[in-house]
Amino acid sequence: MTTPPPGRFDYIEADPSLGPASALPYAPIALQFGGREIRVSALVDSGATLNVLPYDVGLQLGAVWERQTVPVRLGGNIADSEARAIVVLGRIGRFAPVRLAFAWTRSNRVPVILGQTNFFMEFDIRFCRSQLFFEIKPREKLGG
């Protein structure tokens, strides 16, 4: 089985007036839930312990807060926001969709965050910040 070549993405400058100082690794990703699909730009964040979904993005996916019953405790500066677990399908580029578990938060102060659990468990990522790009490829399955 051949490993597909990695998808290459450019860093995005959040504030053009600050130039590269504001560049962050945002990746385009399609999220699917309950037959609905939306495309978002998500922050690939190796410092985040988990994936985070802002409240409005969950609503756009058709998720209903009351139906997601598993509470998730957050940290960082969104620790005060209530969050619940939700599993969606995520598709990056031409790679096969994978199941991604998100902490769906009541907050809209955050971007979509792709963190260690479980985005970094599904994909291998190489950051080349000095050259303002990063690469993503599906993890290699152990044992073939």
Extended beta strands in 1-132, E state? 7-10, 12-13, 23-24, 26-33, 36-44, 51-53, 83-91, 98-105, 112-114, 123-128
The CB-of-58 to other proteins minimum distance in angstroms stands at 14
Dihedral sign from CA coordinates of 51, 54, 73, 83 = negative
Minimum CB distance to other proteins smaller for 3 or for 77: 77
83 binds other proteins (CB under 8 A): yes
Minimum CB distance to other proteins smaller for 45 or for 61: 45
- In the set 1, 79, 96, 142, which binds other proteins (CB under 8 A)? 79
**Residues in region 21-40 near other proteins by CB under 8 A:** 21
Q: What is the DSSP string of 83-121?
A: EEEEEEEEE-TTSPPEEEEEEEES-SSS-EEE-TBTHHH
42 binds other proteins (CB under 8 A): no
Question: Residues in the site for other proteins, rule: CB under 8 A?
Answer: 15, 18-21, 43, 45, 47-52, 70-79, 83, 85, 87, 99, 101-103, 109-111, 113, 115-118
